[in-house]
Structure formats: C-alpha cells, structure tokens
Structure 1
Amino acid sequence: MALLLLLQQREQVTAAEVSRELEVSERTARRDLDALAMAGVPVYSTQGRGGGWRLLGGARTDLSGLTASEARALFLVAGPASAATPAVKAALRKLVRALPEPFRVQAEAAASSLVNDPQQWGSSRVEPRPPRFLDELQDAVIRGVQVRLGYVDRAGAETERTVHPLGIVAKGPSWYLVSTTEAGRRTFRIDRVSSVGPTDDPVDRPEDFDLAESWREISDEVDRKRTPLEAQALCVPHGIGLLRMGFGVRLEVGGSTTDGRIEVVIRGNDEYVLAGELAGLVEWIEVTDPPGVRGHLASIGNALAERYG
C-alpha cells in the first residue's frame, strides 16, 4: 500500500528512494516493485541515468480513492497507542510517509489521538457501544480545535464550558475525553456529554503532552481514590504470580526480606472486604498491617474453622 501511494504521489521513484522512505533494503524495494508489476499494477522501469519506476500513463489505483477521513480512521484504530500489533504499527509508520500531503498531518494526529485501555473499572457488564458524540470529539482532537462542551454530572446537573480536547480513551466499555480547561486538566465521560460545539480556536496543547502517559497518571489517580486502603503483606516468591492475577493494578511488589519472602502492598476500599479477598491466600501471604485487616482475617478464620472443623 505504501509503495503504491508513493508511486502515485511521485512521477518516478528509484529503488534507493523506496529503500530510504519505507525503511527496507534496495533488494526488497526492487522485489516489491516487481511484485506489483506481476500483480497487474501497470508499473514499468526505465534503465540508465535518471531511470526508475513509474506508473504507466500516470495510472491510478483504488488507493487513490482513499479519503482524508478514511486515512484518519486507518490510523485511529491502529496508531501507536492502540492495541494493534507491532507489525501493523510499523507498517503504518511507513504508510504515512507515502500519503498525500493534505492527509498526512491529520493521519499522524489520528495515530496519537486514541488510547485503548482494556482494564475496566468495577464489574460493569455494559456493552461497549460508542457514545453519541464520539465522532465529533475525535474530529475536534484530530483537527486540534476547542469545543463548547455540554456535560451532565453524576447528580444530573448540566453545565457548559469550553475545553481543549487532547485525546480519547476507550477503557473497557466506557469512553473518556482527556482535555484541558480553565480549571486545569479534566477527564469527561463521553456518554455524559450532552452537546458538542466545535470552534475555530486552536487547542493549547502542551509540547510534551503524551496521551498514553497522561492516561496512566489519570488511571492511577482514580484507582487510588477508589481503593484508598493499603494492606502490607509478605508473600512467598511463587505466590506473586497468583497475586498479580487476582489483584492486577491493585498490587505493588517491593523487595525481598531476609527470610526470602517478598514485600507487597494490596489496595482495597474496605478492611473487611479486603480481608475476605486475602483469607484464601493464607498459604502464600502473611498480612502485617493494618491491624483492622488482621483482625478481620482472624475472625474469618475462626468462623471458617467453626463451620468446617
């Protein structure tokens, strides 16, 4: 695809130019050009000084019908911050260099406008349906324009404000807009957006802004607010994998102690509930703090022994 677009963009290319532009060897470039010809694409070569490969009669392929929105969509679903495979991302980095100039800037913007975070908060079983204003907000992020945003908070109160859209995040079944406002950086659930009014004013985007890194900071902050309680424990080395599967981002692994066990911190939001989660792991971990969790573990142990002997 990149090679075809490159041929359509330029009157003529050499194997050296293809090698440099698409990061392949000259041998691979020649082989791929020959493969295009064998596939029926009207590519021909001229020998000698000033020679190279051309499309016969300025021929065009179906790729010439790639619209700006289609180019954006391509990079939106498989950009650097997405869940696309490394091979797909590498191919897209090559492809963007061959896109027509009017498409290139927005395609590159689309590639960095979306983060896919598969870990959802809580146990919601909501189907991941795109919210109503997702397309409008993605368009504002890619074009780099401010929007007048209508928003309904948890209490049902509706407000309107001007925001600087910086990126879109898909977290589990939910979608979020990361933006800056007069009050600083804010995150909005897109399914609570009631209206979107794009403006012609450009977004004030920090030069060092990275959507994936920004989202990690936001997500960590939310996780800590949802699970403010911390239990310190010691875990045998072969139990760390089990803890990772059970607690995910709520687990922090520290260093080893003199007896070979590993220090861990497990977060939760209620001492009794956290004790219940830890009670079945007594063979692997010893909770050292806080006393409230230890007390609940003792009570749960007594109740289990009383019931089951």
Structure 2
Amino acid sequence: MRSDTGQPLTGFPGSVARVRADRLISILLLLQHREQVTAAEVARELEVSERTARRDLDALGMAGVPVYSVRGRGGGWRLVGGARTDLSGLTASEARALFLVAGPASSMTPAAKAALRKLVQALPEPFRVQAEAAASSLVMDPQRWGASWVEPRPPRFLDELQDAVIHGVQVRLGYVDREGSETERTVHPLGIVAKGPSWYLVSDTGTGRRTFRIDRVSSVGLTGDPVRRPEGFDLAESWRAIADEVDRKRTPLEARVVCAPEGIDVLRTGFGGRLVVGGVTTDGRIEVVIRGSDEHLLAGELAGLIAWVEVTGPPGVRDWLASIGNALVKRYA
C-alpha cells in the first residue's frame, strides 16, 4: 500500500492509535456508498481539515483495509474492487484489523458503536466471528502502575498470542518470572491488555485465572486444542478486577480520615483510585478511606492537607503526622 506521494505507508501502531475510531468507521461507510471520494469530500462530510482527512485515509490503509489512492486530476480514494454495499471485499485479516482499531474496547461515541454493530452484520459469515473476537480481545489501559501515561510498545510475541485469543486455541507458553526462573505451561488465552508500557495476557490455567507479562514470554506454541472460555467472560471487567487487586496489594495500608466537604475534590485529585468516600459525620465532614504503601509515606502525603483532613486512624499514621509536624515547627518556627 502506498500514499498519494508514492511512498510506502509505514508506522501502523503509532499512527492508527491517534485516529479516532468513529472517523475511521465513517470514512469506510462513505467509501462503501461511493465509487471514489476525495480528501476534500471526506473533510466536508466529517467537518475536519483536509490534512486530517488525508491522515485518516492513510490510517485506514495502514489498518489493513483495502483502500488505495488514484493520483492526478479526477483522482481520489477507492476501495479495491470498487464500491460495495457490504464489507464482503475484506479478507479475514483485514476485517480483524479494522475491528482491532475500532472495537468496543476502544474509546468511541455511542453513534460509532452503533455503526460498528452494523458493520459486524455486514461482514460475510466466515469472518464475522473472528471480527467480533478481535473487537473484544484487547483492552488499552494507558495508566501505568503508580506513574503517568507512557505509550506502550508491542512485545515480541504479541501477534501470536492475539491470534490465539481470536481463534480460541490453547497455547504452550514459555515464561520467565521476576526471579529469572523459566517454566512452560499450557494456558487458555482469554484476552490481552496494554497497561502503560507493559502488555499482559489474561489466561485460565490449571491453577486458576493468571496474568502474564508478555515481555517475559520466552516461547509460544499453538496446541490446536480449543480454549475453555468461562461463560459470560468480559475482558474489560476481568481486567478491572485484576487491576484493583494489584492496587490493593501495592497499597495494603488503609488510613481513616474525616474531610471537610470543600477538600473532597483535592483528595480525589491527589489520591485517585486509592480514595474511597464514605458517609457524612454529625459535624458535616465526610468519612473517607485512603490506601497507602506504609504509614510513614502515607503520613507524608497527608501532612500538607491539614486544612481539610483529620486522620482518625491507624495510630501509627497519627504518630508519624505528629513527628512530621514537630520537625516542621523545629525547622521553620
């Protein structure tokens, strides 16, 4: 596939990730109904600039959709084979590529999700199951553990494991744990998650549900045996439960706090998912629980919030706060 400059189209992961899924779907539908469209026509239809329209058209090609450009006067963009009323011109891999870019797990408007459901029904029957599986096989969770957003980079065996998820086959997995010990086991791949810069495989195993960091996978062998997929399994819901459990293990300490109502937004901004808001006390303050890794560090985080909060427990956090207060008075009095 080449762009309208004649250069090969490259850079699929980063480029496509920045294109809104609802625009990709809208452009594809436009191409389905017309023999040819120009970037200017796309720009008018979607109310974007021509530069954005060209970038989106390039992104469709990079996603594997069979779209190409015709150069010169009267040129534009076409689907390979001409205009169609359905998606029967897509190969199985091309349909999967589209749904991976614009699946329900991505951030989409309700209208775009409705359009996606229509596209699913328009797919030929042999491709429909794989397209739906592709759309639900990946979750993007950009917030890395305990830090800011970092763009994830696909690890070595990502494609093989995603194929196993989509086709529903068991995998013989070689894996190196954090101590450097290598093991091999058969797993039932259920889905893939990008958490910040790290990628994880969610699987069922002989010992229950497990999560594997894909950059620690040393080998992948497809067994051909079907995956035992739990009834009603939802990857996004399962990942939320896994992430909550990891967060609890990372922050096992709970401090009980009462907060003035005007300070709640400050706590939400500062502590995010580590904050649980409770009921209102008799004096109008709000009970909250804040998780932390240890008493000293949590006291340090709370020390600057004295205008809004009072820590009621545990005693160790209160003792550390008193110690911090004495040290501040000694240094700055």
Instruction: Report the TM-score range of the alignment, normalised by the length of the smaller protein.
Output: 0.7 to 0.9
Secondary structure of the residue that 1:283 maps to in structure 2?
coil
Residues 31-180 of structure 1: pairs in structure 2 closer than 5 A:
36=33, 60-61=82-83, 65-123=89-147, 128-180=152-204
Secondary structure of the residue that 1:116 maps to in structure 2?
strand
RMSD, aligned CA = 2.2
State the one-letter code of the partner of 1:89: K
**Structure 1: how far apart are the matches of 2:265 and 2:312?**
20
Identify the residue that residue 252 of structure 1 maps to in structure 2.
276
In the alignment, is the contact (CA less than 8 A) between 2:103 and 2:135 conserved in 1?
A: yes
**Structure 2: how far apart are the matches of 1:95 and 1:125?**
32
In the alignment, is the contact (CA less than 8 A) between 1:80 and 1:111 conserved in 2?
A: yes
In the alignment, is the contact (CA less than 8 A) between 2:36 and 2:83 conserved in 1?
A: no
Of 283, 290, 312, which residue of structure 2 is paired with 1:266? 290
Deviates more, 1:204-213 or 1:120-129: 120-129
- Max Rg structure: 1
Of 318, 324, 327, which residue of structure 2 is paired with 1:294? 318
**Structure 2: how far apart are the matches of 1:146 and 1:179?**
10
In the alignment, is the contact (CA less than 8 A) between 1:234 and 1:263 conserved in 2?
A: yes
What is the CA distance between 1:127 and its match in structure 2? 5.3
* 1:177-235, Cα deviation, whole Å (9 max, x unpaired): 00000001000001100111011100000111111111111111111111110000001
In the alignment, is the contact (CA less than 8 A) between 1:83 and 1:116 conserved in 2?
A: no
Task: Return closer, same or farther for 1:121/1:253 CA change in 2, 3 Å cut-off.
Answer: same
In the alignment, is the contact (CA less than 8 A) between 1:174 and 1:189 conserved in 2?
A: yes
State the one-letter code of the partner of 1:61: A
In the alignment, is the contact (CA less than 8 A) between 1:234 and 1:264 conserved in 2?
A: yes
State the one-letter code of the partner of 2:83: T
State the one-letter code of the partner of 1:267: R
1:182 aligns with 2:209: no
What is the CA distance between 1:125 and its match in structure 2? 8.0
Percent of residue pairs identical? 79
**Structure 2: how far apart are the matches of 1:198 and 1:38?**
41
Identify the residue that residue 304 of structure 1 maps to in structure 2.
328
Identify the residue that residue 5 of structure 1 maps to in structure 2.
none
Task: Return closer, same or farther for 1:37/1:173 CA change in 2, 3 Å cut-off.
Answer: closer
TM-score under structure 2 normalisation?
0.73
Task: Return closer, same or farther for 1:240/1:37 CA change in 2, 3 Å cut-off.
Answer: same
1:203 aligns with 2:224: no
Secondary structure of the residue that 1:104 maps to in structure 2?
helix
What is the CA distance between 1:74 and its match in structure 2? 1.5
TM-score under structure 1 normalisation?
0.79
1:276 aligns with 2:266: no
Aligned pair count?
A: 259
Of 245, 248, 266, which residue of structure 2 is paired with 1:221? 245
Deviates more, 1:152-161 or 1:100-109: 100-109
State the one-letter code of the partner of 1:73: A
Identify the residue that residue 234 of structure 1 maps to in structure 2.
258
* 1:74-123, Cα deviation, whole Å (9 max, x unpaired): 21232222233433322211111101111111000111111121221023
State the one-letter code of the partner of 1:192: R
Task: Return closer, same or farther for 1:200/1:297 CA change in 2, 3 Å cut-off.
Answer: same
Identify the residue that residue 11 of structure 1 maps to in structure 2.
none
1:212 aligns with 2:268: no
* 1:250-278, Cα deviation, whole Å (9 max, x unpaired): 11111111111111110011110110011
Task: Return closer, same or farther for 1:81/1:201 CA change in 2, 3 Å cut-off.
Answer: same
In the alignment, is the contact (CA less than 8 A) between 2:188 and 2:205 conserved in 1?
A: yes
**Structure 1: how far apart are the matches of 2:238 and 2:223?**
24
State the one-letter code of the partner of 1:96: V
**Structure 1: how far apart are the matches of 2:104 and 2:82?**
29
- Structure 2, unaligned stretches of length 5 or more? 1-28, 38-80
State the one-letter code of the partner of 1:66: L
* 1:11-69, Cα deviation, whole Å (9 max, x unpaired): xxxxxxxxxxxxxxxxxxxxx99x946968xxxxxxxxxxxxxxxxxx74386542211
